[in-house]
């Protein structure tokens, strides 16, 4: 018998999203002060959007809506990766912080 997910917090994909958001907060602490309301703010919003969309999708209780919100989460991952590429090119952080190409699949494929 399958175990029914009771909460979005039970979803591995949501847990990975939270870990990603925490990592982005840690990374951006070291960014230049003048980027606090620019790139830092955008990166943090994109990162927080990943688990937030997953939670909202699960709360909707229909498969179609859940898939729609997973798609939004994937978009946020792409947005964040673009911002990380820019941050590396501006030398705000090392290239090792770039998200692997398959990160979207890993996060959103865990559903």
* pLDDT tens digits along 24-56: 999 999 999 999 999 999 999 999 999 999 999
Kindly list the distances between the CA atom of residue 58 and the CA atoms of 11, 41, 47, 96, 107, in Å, as whole numbers in the listed order: 9, 26, 18, 32, 15
- The count of domains in the chain is 1
Q: Check residue 38 and give its pLDDT.
A: 96
Q: Check residue 29 and give its pLDDT.
A: 95
**Residue 71 structural domain:** 8-108
The answer to whether residue 1 sits within a structural domain is no
The answer to whether residue 68 sits within a structural domain is yes
Mean pLDDT, residues 46-68 taken together: 95
Domain at 83, CATH number: 1.20.1440.60
Kindly list the distances between the CA atom of residue 21 and the CA atoms of 85, 97, 111, in Å, as whole numbers in the listed order: 17, 13, 18
**17 SS3 class:** helix
Contacts of 103 (CB under 8 A, 6+ apart): 20, 77, 81
The answer to whether residue 2 sits within a structural domain is no
pLDDT-derived band at 97, boundaries 50, 70, 90: confident
Mean residue pLDDT across the chain: 87
- φ, ψ of residue 4 to 5 degrees: the values are -80, 135
Of the candidates 69, 103, 110, the one whose C-alpha atom is nearest the C-alpha of residue 84 is 103
Looking at the predicted structure, is the pLDDT value of residue 104 above 90?
A: no
Tokens 């939670």, residue located: 55
pLDDT-derived band at 1, boundaries 50, 70, 90: very low
The answer to whether residue 21 sits within a structural domain is yes
The answer to whether residue 88 sits within a structural domain is yes
The answer to whether residue 18 sits within a structural domain is yes
């Amino acid at each position: 018998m399958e175990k029914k997910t009771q909460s979005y917090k039970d979803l591995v994909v949501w847990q990975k999203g939270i870990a990603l958001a925490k990592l982005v907060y840690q990374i951006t602490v070291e960014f230049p002060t003048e980027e606090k309301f620019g790139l830092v703010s955008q990166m943090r919003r994109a990162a927080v959007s990943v688990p937030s969309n997953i939670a909202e999708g699960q709360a909707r209780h229909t498969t179609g809506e859940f898939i729609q919100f997973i798609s939004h989460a994937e978009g946020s991952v792409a947005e964040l990766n673009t911002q990380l590429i820019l941050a590396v090119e501006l030398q705000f952080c090392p290239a090792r912080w770039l998200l692997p190409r398959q990160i979207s699949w890993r996060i959103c494929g865990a559903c």
